[in-house]
Amino acid sequence: MSKVRSALIVVIVAVLYVACAKLGLAVAFRAEQVTAVWPATGFAIAAMFRYRRHAVPGILLGAFIANATAHEPLWVASGIAIGNTLEAIAGAWILRRFAFDGRLSRVRDVVALLGAVIAAPVVSAAIGVTSLGFGGVQPMSALPALWWIWWVGDALGGLVFAPVLFVWSDRHPMPHRRGALVEASLLVAGLLVASFLVFVRLPAIGAAEFVVFPFVIWAALRFGPAGTASAAVVANIVAVWGTRSGAGPYAGAGPEQGLVLLQIYTAVGATTGLFLGAIAAQNRDAHERAELSEKRLRLAMSAGRVGVWEWDITTGNMMWSDELEPLHGLSRGSFPGTFHAFKRLIHRDDVARVETALREAIENNAPYELQFRVVGADGILRWIDARAQVLRDEDGRAERMLGVGMDITVAKNLEDELRQETRRRDEFLAMLGHELRNPLAPILHATEILSDLGEADRRHVEVIRRQSRHLARMVDDLLDVSRVTSGKVRLERKTVALTDVVSSAVDMWKHAIARHRQELTIDLGKEPIWLDADPTRCTQVIANLLHNASKFTPEEGKITITAGREDGMVVVSVRDTGAGMTDEIRARAFDLFVQGPRALDRPLGGLGIGLTLVRSLVEMHGGTVTAASEGGGKGTEITVRLPIATAPPAIEPVVATSRPARTSRPRRILVVEDHDDARNVLMVMLQRDGHDVRGVSDGASALSVAEELMPEIVLLDIGLPRMDGYAVAEKLRANPRCAAAVLIALTGYGQPEDRDRSKAAGFDHHLLKPLEPSTLMELIARS
């Protein structure tokens, strides 16, 4: 607060305090310095509460001036001024202590104010009369009686005048309703007339003063604390004027005693009115909050397309809120209000489900929750989500159901669209994988045929083979991350040794590590560690981390794989001395398609899906994965935590009997592939291995050639024109001349549902393109 404003507050508080004090001293009788009417207390407490320490100098100055001009020595006036100031400070402190709200709209606020105006004047009265006595202004014998008058004047002055100052300093003290101004005018006029007649005009009549009370109650009930406080001040001013003039019911007790009795009467009326006003304000606030809550609820129900219903189970009558009828395709007010009428709206295929759910809720006292379809009078199909609770009578019998209905048609339509979109996405990815794998297969197989070339040419062939494998791996990762994020991957858990998982992952990338002359160190501890996991997926996790480490580590860098136990978990860390991660990249390292800064040449390649796949697979196993790096160029450490498993029981070694090893022999092989390059290269590769090979490009030709060749092995593509591979396999199995043939699906479709379908069609093996030539030759040799 600025100094100018502080000074202005001091001056205004001092002037107003002097004015209030002079009004009170004007009705002093026994002692010029002591009065039963002291409005300055109410003003001082209100000022201190509103302006805190900024009001202290003004109260002190005003009290000193008022008393110094009341024929008192200056030091006596100073003592009284200090007492008045401490009174205001004490009163304001009490109010703050009890979280007082100046609007007086709570009963607790009225109680706090009563406590302040009763307790605080004790300080002022004690210091004041002591100053008068020791200053020789009043005899010591008169001090007890003066203390009582002083305390009464201050206390009742605070009770009558402080409330009106508090409530009228609020921005909206009066209720805003039509006709309030006219009603307030009639109230003030009636109060003035009644007060004037009782305290000024008419002769003293027993209990006549209580005629004023109905007006105070009227003010409290209709205008709340502001009306009560204002009515109390108006009535008090008229009553003090009349009593001092010798009129009214209290004039007979003498000027001073009459004023004391009048103030007590006023205190009772003011206190009663303040309590009534607070209760009325609380009720009004509660009513307004209830109305507001109802409006909000109705708005929320309308916006959320929700309605409330109640079903009387015994009579079958149903009550619907206004929002429910449009949700069922009905015009407002057209619902007959019976359970049978509601039942007619339910889609015929869902009626049984609704009745069953309702019956189970009633019989088992369970919540009723169901989604079903309705067909309204407009013929539009809608989805409703209904939820309800059974209400029972004192004997436990189901009496009513109270519930809500929500229109979820839009959500259901979006759900259907999302499901279709997901299906289209999966179909597209499956097709993409198939189309990308088809050209990779002949490329990889052609490199096998070219392996007999000279040393220089073999290096070029190895480049083709390596890049083909890299592209195949990116296709696999892309399809895998799509399946994992959509929840279509099923784990095949078993107890597996961590060493087996790590060894398999290292085998995948040892050629890349060797090519970059990187140093790989593996420390899995001395004791065996077992996992309850899908070994294929865990191998994929470690392989992806190892591939990343190799890709981002320069030549002759170091890669370390360590493992140990920690809090019942297996902790595997893959650490490298490579490019490292910035804080920004590390925070998003496991998000889809996130990579480090991308140079135009993209020397490291990749799609940014490897770590996303790692996180998804680890979390499916109930584990966690974190990344740590000290910054760019300082290497990275990826830590995987997986649940540990109990070691499997030891298995006694089995002594194998000597049997002759399988040797490859020429076989009659039928290759069915519509991709010409893939078919021709595969045939050449098989023929070089000594097999009798025939090749066709469609299913009908495959059946015709198989009749003549009686193949021992059939390499059969799934995505054939006109007749797919599944149909061809079924017909081959039905033909006695080739029913015993080994059917191998060689395809770009590798989803679990594709494998299940190939098995049902009669395939013995399901191999995914591009297939390593050595793997295919080994399978043929074993078949």
CATH of the domain at 84: 1.10.1760
| C-alpha closest to that of 30 among 200, 123, 147, 175 | 147
Taking every pair of Cα atoms in the chain, the longest distance, rounded to a whole number of angstroms, is 143
In-domain check, residue 726: yes
- Quote the percentage of the chain above a pLDDT of 70: 84
Q: Do 9 and 140 have their domain in common?
A: yes
What is the chain's mean pLDDT, rounded? Answer: 82
Q: Tokens at residue 72, please?
A: 């008192």
* One-letter identity of residue 322: D
**What number of CA atoms fall less than 13 Å from residue 165's CA on the CB side?**
21
Helix (H, G, I), strand (E, B) or coil at 10: helix
| pLDDT at 467 > cutoff 90 | no
Question: Which of 301, 333, 352 is the endpoint of a domain?
Answer: 301
Residues 194 and 154 in one domain: no
The pLDDT of residue 500 is above 70: yes
Cβ atoms < 10 Å from Cβ of 715: 26
User: What's the CA gap between 772 and 774, in Å, rounded?
Assistant: 5
378-392, 638-652, 683-697: range with lowest mean pLDDT: 638-652
Q: Is residue 592 part of a domain?
A: yes
Look at residue 653 in the predicted model and tell me its pLDDT.
Answer: 46
What range defines the domain where residue 184 resides?
172-301
Res. 597 pLDDT band, cuts 50 70 90: very low
Closest Cα partner for 403 from 423, 385, 416, 421?
385
pLDDT score of 232 more than 90:
no
Number of other CB atoms surrounding residue 419 within 10 Å: 10
3-state secondary structure 312-380: ECCCCEEEECCCHHHHCCCCCCCCCCEHHHHHHHECCCCHHHHHHHHHHHHHHCCCEEEEEEEECCCCC
Q: What is the pLDDT of residue 606?
A: 47
pLDDT tens figures, 653-700: 444 443 334 445 889 999 998 888 888 888 888 888 889 999 999 999
Contacts of 619 (CB under 8 A, 6+ apart): 625
Would you say residue 363 has pLDDT above 60?
Answer: yes
Say whether 598 sits in a helix, a strand or coil: coil
* CA 438 to each of CA 116, 444, 505, 769: distance values in angstroms, whole numbers, following the listed order: 91, 11, 26, 7
DSSP β-ladder status, 668-672 and 692-696? parallel
Residue 613 has pLDDT above 70, yes or no: yes
Mean pLDDT of all residues in 435-452: 70
3-state secondary structure of 742: strand
Same domain, 31 and 180: no
CB atoms within 10 A of CB 224: 27
pLDDT of 732 reads: 93
Query: Which of 170, 196, 214 is at the close of a domain?
Result: 170
Mean pLDDT of 492-505: 88
What confidence category does residue 361 fall into, taking pLDDT thresholds of 50, 70 and 90? very high
Mean pLDDT within 496-514: 86
Range name among 268-277, 422-431, 513-522 with the lowest pLDDT average = 422-431
* Number of domain units in the chain: 5
- 605 and 682: one domain? no
Contact 365, 392 (CB under 8 A): yes
* Residue among 359, 360, 358, 328 at smallest CA distance from 345: 328
Distance separating alpha carbons of residues 143 and 223, to the nearest angstrom: 42
By the 10 Å C-beta count (0-12 exposed, 13-18 middle, 19+ buried), 136 is classed as exposed
Q: Are residues 104 and 177 in the same domain?
A: no
4 lies in a domain? yes
Is 480 inside a domain boundary? no
Q: What percent of the chain has pLDDT over 90?
A: 26
Residue 748 lies in a domain: yes
User: Are the C-beta atoms of residues 732 and 758 closer than 8 Å to each other?
Assistant: no
Assess whether pLDDT exceeds 60 at residue 51. Answer: yes
pLDDT confidence of residue 663: 45
Is residue 355 pLDDT above 70, yes or no?
yes
Task: For residues 131 and 233, state if they share a domain.
Answer: no
Instruction: State the average pLDDT over residues 604-610.
Output: 54
Query: Does residue 635 surpass a pLDDT of 70?
Result: yes
Q: Is the pLDDT of residue 652 over 60?
A: no
- pLDDT, one tens digit per residue, over 393-439 is 888 889 999 999 988 888 888 888 887 877 776 666 666 666 666 67
- Report the half-sphere exposure of 684 (CA within 13 A, side-chain side): 15
Between 325-329, 461-465, 556-560, the lowest mean confidence (pLDDT) is in: 461-465
- Residues with Cβ within 8 Å of 538's Cβ and at least 6 positions away in sequence, in order, are 496, 501, 531, 617, 621, 642
142 within a domain of the structure (yes/no): yes
User: What digits encode the pLDDT tens for the residues 170-221?
Assistant: 765 666 677 788 888 898 898 888 888 888 876 656 566 778 888 888 888 8
Same domain, 3 and 124: yes
Q: Phi, psi (5° rounding) for residue 638?
A: -105, 125
Same domain, 176 and 238: yes
Query: With contact defined as beta carbons under 8 Å apart, do 370 and 353 qualify?
Result: yes
CATH number of the domain to which 555 belongs: 3.30.565.10
The reply to whether 283 and 321 lie within a common domain is no
Q: Is the residue at 107 inside a domain? A: yes
- The predicted structure's pLDDT at residue 603: 40
Mean pLDDT of 7-23: 90
User: Which of these three, 118, 143, 170, is where a domain ends?
Assistant: 170
Highest mean pLDDT among 80-94, 364-378, 413-427: 80-94
Whether the per-residue pLDDT at 590 is higher than 80: the answer is: no
Task: Kindly state the average pLDDT of the residues 728-747.
Answer: 90
With residue 747 as reference, give the H or E element that holds it.
Answer: strand 742-747
With cut-offs at 50, 70 and 90, classify the pLDDT of residue 300. low
Same domain, 120 and 46: yes
Closest CA to 360 of 395, 390, 322, 317: 390
Q: Is residue 428 part of a domain?
A: no
Question: Is the pLDDT assigned to residue 322 strictly greater than 90?
Answer: no
When pLDDT is cut at 50, 70 and 90, the band that residue 79 belongs to is: very high
The yes-or-no verdict on residue 599 having pLDDT over 80 is no
Which of 121, 105, 104 has its CA nearest to residue 113? 104
Give yes or no: residues 132 and 46 share one domain. yes
The pLDDT value recorded for residue 354 is 94
pLDDT of residue 451: 65
- Radius of gyration in angstroms for the set of CA atoms belonging to the chain, rounded to a whole number: 48
- Separation between Cα atoms, residue 550 and residue 555, nearest integer Å: 9
Copy the structure tokens of residue 325. 């009828």
For residues 338 and 364, membership in a common domain is answered with: yes
Bigger pLDDT: 488 vs 638 = 638
Q: How far apart are CA 117 and CA 159, in angstroms?
A: 6
Mean pLDDT value across residues 634-647: 88
